[in-house]
Amino acid sequence: MAKHSNSSFDAKNAPGGNGKNSRLLVAETSHESNIDVGRRIREIRMGKGLSIRALAETSKLNVNTLSLIENGRTSPSVSTLQLIAQTLQVPISAFFETDEGQKKVVYQHAGNRPHAVFTHGLVEDLGAGMTRFGAEPLIVTLKPKSDSGKTPIVHTGREFVYCLEGHIVYHVDDQAYPLEPGDSLMFEAYLPHRWQNEGESESKLLLVLCPLDERDQPSERHFGS
């Protein structure tokens, strides 16, 4: 569990801030610099190995509120940003870094990727640092006998699955698709789907989520718990 840090700014000490207009300060800063604060929060969270639910529990913020912030559907106040910064142990200024240094090539060594632990395993982000244009490549490690739950998942775009290790079963529109190493599956993601690791050992898959709407974050529906 993350400890609170003293490195974040106080709203009253922020440039031009007096506490009273803190929400306006965030909105103006984001607009003028074209900064995606929500995306930065998500990148930092993933880099520290936290699921959105874990961040919500530690920061005492509502998971739906965090999801709206990360998806750019609501603007957080400075006090909320302070709380998130303290939980993630970063200065609040980390959320306002520009995209000038956005990577055009992402090269990663095995074992040195941004990742997040969720209830049933581990998610590694293969595209960290590069702007996502409708594709989010992930390596997912699933615990033995784990599954995504009884409620089917639906989202925009398509989903591609490639089994790397173990035995995974994907259920798409009530049809079961067993996957062993080397097997792949691609489908329209509006079809209700869910997954399960039927084996007695960990399974690993390459998952590429391709939402049509950039505000859609299907990874949270897969691994948010």
* pLDDT one-digit tens code per residue, 81-101: 888 988 998 877 678 665 555
The winner for highest mean pLDDT among 72-76, 189-193, 214-218 is: 189-193
The winner for highest mean pLDDT among 12-16, 18-22, 113-117, 135-139 is: 135-139
Residue type, 172: V
66-75, 115-124, 133-142, 144-153: segment of lowest average pLDDT: 115-124
- CATH code matching the domain that covers 115-223, chosen among 2.60.120.10, 1.10.3720.10, 3.40.50.2000, 2.40.30.200: 2.60.120.10
Residue 121's CB is within 10 A of a number of other CB atoms, namely 18
Q: What CATH architecture does domain 11-101 belong to?
A: Orthogonal Bundle (1.10)
- In whole angstroms, how far apart are CA 3 and each of 7, 9, 59, 90, 135? 12, 16, 10, 11, 33
Q: Quick one: how far is CA 192 from the chain centroid?
A: 21
As a whole number of angstroms, the distance between CA 205 and CA 140 comes to 5
Give the pairing of strands 175-179 and 136-142: unpaired
- The residue count of the chain comes to 225
